[in-house]
Each structure stands twice: as structure tokens, then as C-alpha cells.
Amino acid sequence: MVSMRAMVLERPGTPLIEHERPIPAPSVGEILVEIAACGVCRTDLHVVDGELADPRLPIVPGHEIVGRVAAMGAGVAGGLALGDRVGVPWLGHTCGACTYCRTGRENLCDAPLFTGYTRDGGYATHAIADARFCFPLPGASDDAETAPLLCAGLIGWRSYRMAGEGRSLGLYGFGAAAHILAQVAAWQGRRVYAFTRAGDAAAQSLAKSLGAVWAGGSEELPPEPLDAAIIFAPVGALVPRALKAVKKAGRVVCGGIHMSDIPSFPYRDLWEERQIVSVANLTREDAREFLALAPQAGIKTSVRRYPLAQANAALTDLRQGRIQGAAVLIP
């Protein structure tokens, strides 16, 4: 095979266009991945809709890639071999030299590359990746069901750790990330409160089936004050609402890359050492931790498969809140 197919964003705000192009050869330190599945993340919507600054254009979106090593450039370390199953996440490259990289915070690197945003991603049959930022995926898990772990799982896990050790946890926006984290939290014996759009009975029943002790609309208050809340929905108005739901010293974690503006709110809702924090990207350490934990916790993802050529339909369904769990593209 000499050519590959990719769904390409030429200009934000326009549909992806299917392209056929030569399969690229991996350079030093890179691998060519033959893609088996690529998850559709809300961040892809922000890229496609033009809500994130300066994407590299044209760009192939997608940063929840599961595939197999099809070719290797020179100097690939880490024991990878042809045919190995690997995952390619959002963090595609870091400089290794800036203050953040040198202090264990490569998620904040000053000169990063992000898969599907500033380097071509997984809405394709093939992708090139920096081997140091790929993760071996041993085991026999289903490719499509594994794909959402690569972002919803990894950045969800970073958000979850940032929420602290409290026993009662609110999850605002019950999509791909929350449906994974609810299982982690229930496995750890925490009480999960799931907040969805008002009247979204399907998301609320999915939440309960995955271990949430309560599910309701995001305008409601939970039956007990929360130790922490994570907001995955890109809705700034949820920040003051979540602040009212957390107890003294409670923490509200904003897990997304983009959110509508946060409305003003009285200082008393923040007082008593409540905190609002955001999560940016992931480190490779987050990935190693979470990918080891996921099978122990028995994480099962709920996916809806779309053929690669139907990427625009998958994005539309996600934008309109029609996906339970995660959408995944299959080349």
C-alpha cells in the first residue's frame, strides 16, 4: 500500500474533506502507525469549530489513536517493534528543555506539539508519531473500546487526581471522560454525583449504571455537599454552580481546553478556601499511571463506531449531545 486516506480540516468552521495522499515515511525517532481506531474528543470539536487559536492548517484531527507500528524511523528507543499495538495521545512532542519540561510538568511545555492540532492526528488510516510519546497497549482489549482511554481517560485521570482524595465527587457533563472516571471512582469506593443537561435521562441512567450514586440536572444541588467537582462540559456557567455544590475547601476542576465565559459570582461562594483550577494536557507519567490502572479497575467504555468517512457525522452527533459514552472512527 502506498497511499493513505485522511479526513482533513482545511479551514475552521468547514466540514472535513476526505483526502488521499502518499503514506509518509517516519523520520528519526518517529513511527508510522497503521490506525485501527481513533476516538472523537470534544477538543476535536473545538479545533474544527475554530474555538482554539492557531491550529496548523490543513490538519488531520484526532488524538485518541489506537494502531499498530507499521514502520520505524532510525533511533526509535523504548523496545517498540513492528506490529506492536500502540496508543497515540494528545501530547505529541515536548521540547525537553524549558522550565516546565525540566521540572516534571511537560504538560505545560513552552514548545509542544499536539496530535490532531499542531501535528496530523488520527482521523486517517495512518499517522506519524514521535515514538517517545506513544504508549504500548498490550493485551487483547478491543481497539475501538480502547481509543477513548487515550484522552478522555488520560486527561480525565489528570483532572481526577487534581480533584484530590475526597469521598464525594461531582462530575459535570457526563460524556466520554466522565463515563470512564465514574468507574474509577466507584472502584475506589467514592460516591459519584453525575450532573447532565436537564432532563437528559439517557446520560443519567448511563451514569447510574456505571456506579454513580445520584444523577440529576446541572442546575440541581446534590443531596450532600461535595468534596470536589470536575467540569467536563465546556460551559462556564457551571463553574459558579459547582462552587455552590462543594463544601469548605472544596475544589472545582475545569477539565476541558475551552469553555464559554464564566459569569461573575459573589465572593462568598469562593470564600472558605474553595478553589477553582484548570487542567492542561497530560504528562507521559499520567498516561503510564492510568493505562496501568484501567484494566485493574475493569474500565469498560461505551462506544459508537463510525466509518472514517463519516467523521463529520460523528462530530455533529457529539456537538448535538447525541453520543452516549464516546464516538470512535474506524478506518
Contact of 177 with 155, CB cutoff 8 Å: yes
Where in 108-137 is the site for Zn ion (CB under 5 A)? Answer: 109
Contact of 51 with 149, CB cutoff 8 Å: no
Angstrom distance (rounded) from CA 315 to CA 40: 7
Interface pick for Zn ion out of 16, 41, 60, 318 (rule CB under 5 A): 41
Q: Please give the biggest Cα pair distance in the chain.
A: 63
What is the sign of the dihedral through the CA atoms of 123, 258, 133 and 176? Answer: negative
**Cell, residue 1:** 500500500
Binding mask 145-184 for Zn ion (x = CB under 5 A): ------x---------------------------------
- For the CA atoms of 123, 154, 285, 293, what is the dihedral angle to 10 degrees? -120
Least distance (Å) from Zn ion to the CB of residue 23? 25
Q: Does 95 bind Zn ion (CB under 5 A)?
A: yes
Taken as a whole, the chain contains a residue count of: 331
Q: Does 43 bind Zn ion (CB under 5 A)?
A: yes
Q: Does 213 bind Zn ion (CB under 5 A)?
A: no
Q: What is the DSSP letter of 311?
A: H
Number of residues that bind Zn ion (CB under 5 A): 8
- Report residue 168: phi and psi, to 5°: -110, 125
- Report residue 25: phi and psi, to 5°: -95, 140
* Residue among 110 and 272 whose Cβ is closer to Zn ion: 110
- For the CA atoms of 305, 177, 180, 202, what is the dihedral angle to 10 degrees? -70
* Residue among 36 and 101 whose Cβ is closer to Zn ion: 101
Amino acid at 186: A
Least distance (Å) from Zn ion to the CB of residue 12? 17
Stretch that binds Zn ion, among 38-46, 114-122, 128-136, 273-281 (CB under 5 A): 38-46
* Residue among 39 and 222 whose Cβ is closer to Zn ion: 39
Q: Does 52 bind Zn ion (CB under 5 A)?
A: no
Stretch that binds Zn ion, among 24-32, 144-152, 190-198, 218-226 (CB under 5 A): 144-152
Least distance (Å) from Zn ion to the CB of residue 304? 17
Helices (H), 42-146: 42-48, 99-102, 143-146
Interface pick for Zn ion out of 38, 86, 101, 299 (rule CB under 5 A): 101
Interface pick for Zn ion out of 98, 162, 213, 309 (rule CB under 5 A): 98
Q: Does 94 bind Zn ion (CB under 5 A)?
A: yes
Least distance (Å) from Zn ion to the CB of residue 105? 9
**Cell, residue 18:** 476526505
Interacting residue ranges for Zn ion, rule: CB under 5 A: 41, 43, 94-95, 98, 101, 109, 151
